[in-house]
Structure 1
Amino acid sequence: MVSIESVSRRFGEVRALDQVSLEIRQGEFFALLGPSGCGKTTLLRILAGFEHPDSGSVTLDGADLLAVPAHRRPVNLMFQSYALFPHMSVAKNIAYGLERERVPKREIRERVDEVLTTVGLTGLDRRRPHQLSGGQRQRVALARAIVKRPRLLLLDEPLSALDKKVRAEMQLELKRLQHEVGITFVVVTHDQEEAMSLADRIAVLSEGRVRQIDAPVPLYERPADLFVADFIGANNLIDGVVTVDGLRVPEVGLLPCPASPAAIGRAATLAVRPERVRLGGDGGLTGVVRDVTFFGGTTRVAVQVAGLDRPLLATVAGAAAVVVGDRIRVDWSGADGVLLDGS
C-alpha cells in the first residue's frame, strides 16, 4: 500500500533519515520503533505531509504521495497530546473535520454516532474533554481521526500519556479497533512492549537507518544485529571466537552456541535471552547471585560469573529459590542462542 524508497532528510548537520526504504501493507498495524532521535517521528511527519524529504520517494497505491498537499492526503495523524478542543463537546470534536469538509449534517450525525459506538463512548457525546478520563480522551482523539475514514492512520506515541493499567487496556482496544475499521495503522513508539503487543510488523530504526523489519516474534528471537539484540528486550551478550565446539571466551572457557560452520574462527557475539538461561543445573558456569528482582509472575536473577564484564540474567517463573550471595550454576542450550557479527 505504502512504499518508501531511499528517503533521506537532513536538519543542518543532523541526518534524521538515511536512505530509508520500507513497505507498509494494506490493513496492517505497522510500528516504527527506536530510541529518541532515531528518525521515526520525522518519517511519520513525511507521511503526514508536514515534512518533505531531501531525496527519495513515497507512494500510496503506486501514486506519488509527496506531490499531494497534507490537507488532501487520505492520511490522518493522531497527535501525542490528543489536541482536543477544550470548549467543544465530544461530538463536536469528532465532527470538526467533517464540518470543515462541508459534509451534509445528517451524514455527520450518522458517522459520529457510528464512531462513538465503535470506540465505546456512546452516551458521552455532550461531555467536554475536561470531564473525561485520560483513556476516554484518547478514544475521542481516535474517533476524530477515524471518522474521516482515512486510508492511513498515523499515531505518534499514542499511549504515552496514560498510566500503566489504562495503557494496557488501550493497547487491546487499539488492536481491536484497527481490525474492526480496517484502516492501516502506523504507530511511532519507543516502547518495545507497546510495539510488540500492537504491531503485525515492526521496523527498528537507529540513527536514521532501518536496522530490521520483522514480525514481533522473529524480531525478538532472531535479531539481525547487535543493536536490535540489545535494544529489543533484555539480552545476555557475550563476546568470543566461534569454534567447532562452541564460543571460546577468554578467562571463561567454552560456551554453548548455535552450530555455524561459516563462522568458525571468527569473532562473534552470542545473544541469549534471560528466559533461556537455566539455573541450578549440573553443568555450565558457576557464579554468585548479585540481584534478585521479583515482578509478580516472574523473577529476574543476575549472576556474576568470573571473566564476564556484566552479570548473566536469568528469568524464572514465579519466585526464585535463590538469594543474593548464593553460588549457583547457570547454563543454556546452544540452540537457544543467536550468533551475531562481532565486528
Structure 2
Amino acid sequence: MSPNPPSSRALPPLVRIEGVTRRFGDTVALDGVDLDVRAGEFFALLGPSGCGKTTLLRVLAGFETPDSGTVSLDGRDLRGVPAHRRPVNLMFQSYALFPHMSVEKNVAYGLARERLPRAEIRERVAAVLATVGLTAQARRRPHQLSGGQRQRVALARAIVKRPRLLLLDEPLSALDKNVRAEMQLELKRLQLEAGITFLVVTHDQEEAMSLADRIAVLDRGRILQVDTPVELYRHPQGRFVAGFVGSNNIFSGHLLPSGGLDVPGVGVLPAPVGVGSAAGLVAVAVRPESIQVAAADAKGGEGLLHGTVLDVSFHGGSSRIAVTVPALESPVLVTASGPATVTAGTPVALSWDPSSAVLVETEETTWKTGGQAT
C-alpha cells in the first residue's frame, strides 16, 4: 500500500469538483459529488460497476456535461471548455492503438495533429519511449507486442502530450494476473518520473490500494470516504466501505457502556470502550487477520466465539478459514499465517483484541441478528 506523500498535503488542489450531479433519465449517476485531487498525486476512484466512477472520469475529460455543479483545474472553470482544449488526457481501457501504425507513430499521433515541429516530435517521442522501456520496439506494430507492451504504448501516447492530469479507465483489466502486478509497479514508477497527476478508475480494491496515494470510494453516485489506503483499511466509514475494501466480519448489536458489543443470541463480543455513544443497533467490523483461532471443545473452552471450521483454503503465505457459529447467518472469516493448523469439521474458539473492532455504522432500524462476512 502506498502512503500519501507528505509534500502533497500542503499543495492546493489541482482538480476541484463541487456539487456535481449527472442524471441519465431516471438514473442518478452522480449525486452531488465533492472532491479535491492534489497536484502530483496518484488518485483512485474505487467502486463497483454502476457506482458512477466512469461517469465522473468522463465529466473531467469533457465527454460528459454535468447537470449541476462545477469542475475546475488549476483554478480554471472547465465548464464550456471542450475535451480537446483541456490539459487532460484519457487513457482508454481498450488502449485504442492504431493497428497500421508503428509504436513511434502511435505515440507521435497526437503531437502531429497539433502540428508541432518534426524535430520536437521526434525528441519527445524518443524520450517517452525510453521512459516506458520501448525504445527497441519503436518500429513494431501493435500486433507484434505483448499485452503489457501495448499498455505501455497507450500510456506513452497519453503522457507525451504532457497533460496536467492523466485519466486512466481500468487500465490494467485486460492484462493477466502476473503482468498486471508488474504493470502496477510500472505505472507508479512512470507517474513519479513524469510528474503528472494520475487519476485512475478501478473496481479492483487491491489495485487501488497498491497504486494510489489517496482513494475515493463511490457507491450509487456518492463518495462515501476519501482517505489514504492505510486509513481506509484501518478505519472504514460505513458498512459498505468496510465490506468493499478488503474482507471484513461485520457484527450487529448494542454497544455496552463498559465496552463490548452485545449480539443477540451470541453474547458480548469485544469492542473498545468509547467506540461511540450511539443508541440502538450498531455494526462493528473485525478484519479476518485480527482474529485468532484455537482448537476448542464446541461447548466450552477458551475464546469468545465457538464454532466449527467450514472450509480451509491455502494461499501460499496465508490460509483463509471459514467458521460457522451458531446464531450467526454468515461464517466468520479468519486469516492465519502459513498453513492452517485446523481442518474442516474441527471445533474452534475465536478471539480478538477489543481495539481491533471498528464501529462502521449506526442504525436505529431493526437489523437481522448476527454477523456478516464480506
**TM-score > 0.5, shorter chain as reference:** yes
How many angstroms does 1:169 deviate by? 0.1
Partner of 2:307 in structure 1? 287
**What residue in structure 2 maps to residue 327 of structure 1?**
347
- Does the CA-based 8 Å contact 1:245-1:254 persist in structure 2? no
- Which structure 2 residue ranges, 5 or more long, are not aligned? 1-13, 296-301, 364-374
SS state at 1:17 partner: strand
1:309 aligns with 2:355: no
Q: Distance in 1 between matches of 2:30 and 2:52?
A: 6
C-alpha distance in structure 2 between counterparts of 1:264 and 1:213, whole Å: 23
Query: Which residue number in structure 1 is paired with residue 231 of structure 2?
Result: 218
Q: Distance in 2 between matches of 1:92 and 1:235?
A: 48
Query: For each residue in 1:178-200, what CA deviation from the matched residue of structure 2 results, as whole angstroms up to 9, or x when unmatched?
Result: 00000000000000000000000
* Alpha-carbon distance between aligned partners in 2 of 1:139 and 1:185, rounded to the nearest angstrom: 15
Query: Would you say 1:39 and 2:52 are equivalent positions?
Result: yes
List structure 1 segments (4+ residues) > 4 angstroms apart after TM superposition: none
| Corresponding residue number in structure 2 for 1:250 | 264
CA deviation digits over 1:288-325, x for unaligned, max 9?
00010111111000111111111111101110011000
Cα RMSD over matched residues? 1.0
Are 1:290 and 1:302, in contact at CA under 8 Å, matched by a contact in 2? yes
Aligned partners of 1:204 and 1:213 also within 8 Å = yes
Shift of 1:267: 1.3
Instruction: Trace 1:128-147 onto structure 2 (pairs within 5 A).
Output: 128-147=141-160
Q: What is the alpha-carbon distance in structure 1 between the residues aligned to residue 278 and residue 175 of structure 2?
A: 49
Residue 269 of structure 1 corresponds to 283
Q: Does 2:247 match 1:234?
A: yes
Instruction: Please give the secondary structure, in 2, of the residue aligned with 1:328.
Output: strand
Residue 180 of structure 1 aligns to a residue whose secondary structure is helix
Identical amino acids, percent of aligned pairs: 66
SS at match of 1:227: helix
Equivalence for 2:360: 340
TM-score between the two structures when normalised by the length of structure 1: 0.98
Instruction: State the SS of the aligned residue for 2:154.
Output: helix
SS at match of 1:188: strand
Of the three residues 100, 121, 136, the one matched with 1:123 is 136
Give the Å deviation of 1:341.
Answer: 2.3
**Alpha-carbon distance in 1 for matches of 2:278, 2:233:** 25
TM-score (norm 2): 0.90
Q: Could you tell me which amino acid in structure 1 is paired with residue 284 of structure 2? A: L
Deviation at 1:264, TM superposition (A): 5.9
SS at match of 1:280: strand
Counterpart residue type for residue 101 of structure 1: E
Q: C-alpha offsets along residues 35-61 of structure 1, whole Å, 9 cap, x if unaligned?
A: 000000000001000000000000111
Find the counterpart in structure 1 of residue 102 from structure 2. 89
Write the distance in 2 (CA, Å) between the matches of 1:329 and 1:81.
Answer: 49
Residues 39-96 of structure 1: CA distance to partner in whole angstroms, max 9, x if unpaired? 0000000100000000000011111012311101000000000000000000000000
CA distance in 1, matches of 2:154, 2:355: 46
Equivalent position of 2:10 in the other structure = none
